[in-house]
Amino acid sequence: MQTVKQLLENKASSALIHVSPESSVFQALQLMAEKNVGAVLVMEEGAVVGVFSERDYARRVVLQGRTSAGTQVRDIMTSRVVYVTPIRWTSAWR
């Protein structure tokens, strides 16, 4: 089994794909399409504060009748995130 560090070393890019909580959902979706990913980290001042996924979009924008241009990521992101770093596991709980 590979460690997290080994998995990250094998990635084509080491850049984190992220948006700010103030970004519009539309901006986040554009970035996700450009990078061909289904989710992005939500970061504020270098810290993970949430994750925004296609599932968040479907359930909290489309099904609730909101607009992607008029909704901020902070309003619909998943804020309970557990993640690991190459060194240790961490969590972001709000």
- What is the full DSSP assignment across 15-57? ---EE-TTSBHHHHHHHHHHHT-SEEEEEETTEEEEEEEHHHH
Instruction: Give the predicted TM-score (pTM) of the model.
Output: 0.80
Mean pLDDT over residues 33-45, rounded?
96
Structural domain harbouring 15: 4-92
The identity of residue 51, as a single letter, is V
Q: How many domains does the chain have?
A: 1
| Residue 10 DSSP label | H
CATH number at residue 84: 3.10.580.10
Closest CA to 86 of 5, 19, 6, 20: 5
Closest CA to 76 of 91, 93, 54: 54
**pLDDT for the residue numbered 1:** 77
